[in-house]
Amino acid sequence: MEKLFEKGYIGSCQIKNRVVMTAMTTGYAGQDGKPTEQLVRYYEARAKGGVGLIVTEIFRLNNEHGVAFPRQMYALDSNNIPSLAQMTARVHQYGTKVFAQLHHGGSTNMPVLNKRIVAPSPIPNVTGIMPEEMTIEDINELKQQFVQSAVACKAADFDGVELHGAHGYLLCEFLSPASNQRTDQYGGSVENRCRIITELIQEIKAVCGKDFPVAVRFSALEFDPDHPLSLKIEDGVEIAKVLEKAGADALDVSCGNYFTKYGENEEPYSYAQGWRKENTRKVKEAVSIPVIGVNTIKTPEFAETLLEDGICDFIGLGRGSIADPEWVRKAQTGRSNEIYKCIGCIYCFESLMNVGYVRCSVNPRAGKEAVFHEELMKNGNGRKVAVVGGGPAGMMAANILGQRGFDVTLFEKDGELGGDLLLAGATAPYKEKLIWIRNTLQARLEKTNVKVVLHCEATSEIVRQYNPEAVFVAVGGQPFIPNPAYLEKENVSLAEEVIRKEKDVQGNVVIIGAGLTGLETAEMLFREGKAEKITIADMVPQIGQGMYPSVFIDVMKEMAGKPLELLPGHMLKDIEGNKVMLTKCEDNSEVVLEADHIILSLGLKPKKDLVKAFEKEFNRVIPLGEARRTPGRVAASMEDGYVMARGFDPEA
């Protein structure tokens, strides 16, 4: 991977390698616009992990109509500059450069956070809100705020700035004919629609100096079929030429906007690495300045091919750097197999929307860098511990305990490690990304000399033979079955039995349970061509309730046009022969369906009895993941394994 670690330049700024951590809102900044210790630790970890350039998350420009998120960095308050300077110093100590991303959300901003909602033209946004059309006075004032912010960032020792002109935000709204219908100098031709950005480039350089880099992130196309005037790749190429001519030092090529239907702006797990690389190539071929390519990059090997094939000059690593802050260092030292790769589950987006800050399914430290910043305590001293269960929680715990110097034995009832990762990874070709977690954890286990015992359904008697001082129980959950007699019927199966190909399902199928597993089971059956029709019923009022929207849309689009019937608000009453009796929650009326096969996908419940059995025999039993709490997500299991193993005190 020679090209990935070559030096490069953006303007006069030398970058030590070709990996750029692209801007992503985290929710870690303070309400006052200062970087918190958590945010600084987050960036510092990625700098220490070897990334060449960090582009920070968004800086807001004003408090009247420029607030995109409650906790954004803000440079125009001079009191914030010392804190920002400390942040850049902590990044610079590792030889990593850092740009500040300057941003205005335009019509995507929320009224609850702003006094006004403004945009280039009065066109309703995705929520139906009508923004105010910006006057020339508004534009001039905003440009001044951009420039002043750049000056403040330079004072705080940032190495450059990036103007955010992508994803349907304000500068993108100026670029796109779908959102810019102005008739003055800021609308119409491509040069006019680019004018606000070209003026910003020139005015920032006039004040900060021609050697102060100004990069531009922009959507080269919007993937927006509902708006015929939205940006196409041909428009993106012309925009790139105009921005280069204006003096931009680099182009950070992205795509999409917030009208985008199918997740192109967020790229859930079905999107393959490099799925839009040809669009990046077209931009690069049109300009001579460096191009940063964000292309759903997961692995260093794939990143290297993008550089070798001339797709881009720098690799834009977004969620991959959240998943593993040491992504670059591991790649550079030949440890790619130890990288925790982004699986495209969108848990980071979901967390930001639901709890206000970014978390990660495969990286339990994400969002908690300020808490878990100290090195692991190496005080195991060969003490024996047992881990029961080789799923994500058990493997993570065994990995951390091994690193701490414990003598670890991991028991797994199946013939290979992975647990529910193997099950979930079998539902669709693109879900194989879940197996990446297993592979990385397994590589780490081998490195820490954890002893693995397969084909062993560990009991307290078996584990006792190993004489452990503590037992970590990570046995996963068990399917919730409303009536065990149902499974005695030949035409009734659990979803996991179908996914594992233990049951052959054909014909007219009814699935009870419309969570992710139920939906993905349906998708799998349609893909295999075995189901003539599928009906999915659930007592919840909305199919896919609790799923992040882009994940739900991604699953459903795979079944578009298939004979699929959805019955939300319908509770299972009974199963008799080939008839499924449902109760319609709205009026308690009965609905009867006929089915060749019935699949139960009603979630999991903890295996409390197994935990209690170990507690009777051992003084120190630590339940993990689904054995400890309500069965949930991979993220919860990984976090449990990490936190409980990290904090385990052998002297307590």
259 neighbors 224 (Cβ within 8 angstroms): yes
Active site residue 94: no
511 neighbors 496 (Cβ within 8 angstroms): no
- Partners of 254 in beta bridges: 219
Considering 169, 271, 357, 642, which one is annotated as catalytic? Answer: 169
Helix, strand and coil in the chain, % to nearest 5: 35, 20, 45
* C-alpha pair distances (Å), 182 with each of 173, 231, 465: 11, 16, 78
**Cβ-Cβ contacts under 8 Å for 174 (sequence gap 6 or more):** 120, 165, 180, 186, 193, 194, 195, 196, 197
What DSSP string runs through 263-321? STTT--TTSPTTTTHHHHHHHHHH-SS-EEE------HHHHHHHHHTTS-SEEEESHHH
276 neighbors 255 (Cβ within 8 angstroms): yes
Q: How far is it, in rounded angstroms, from Cα 77 to Cα 75?
A: 5
Identity at 334, one-letter amino acid code: G
Q: How far is it, in rounded angstroms, from Cα 298 to Cα 302?
A: 7
- CA 644 from chain centre, in angstroms, equals 24
312 neighbors 291 (Cβ within 8 angstroms): yes
Contacts 24+ apart (CB under 8 A), 556-564: 556/519, 557/262, 558/270, 558/428, 558/523, 558/526, 558/527, 559/522, 559/523, 559/526, 562/526, 562/534, 563/531, 563/532, 563/533, 563/534, 564/522, 564/526, 564/533, 564/534, 564/535, 564/536
- Partners of 389 in beta bridges: none
What DSSP string runs through 595-613? -SEEEE---EEE-HHHHHH
Q: Which of 399, 281, 279 is nearest to 340 (CA)?
A: 399
Catalytic annotation, residues = 169
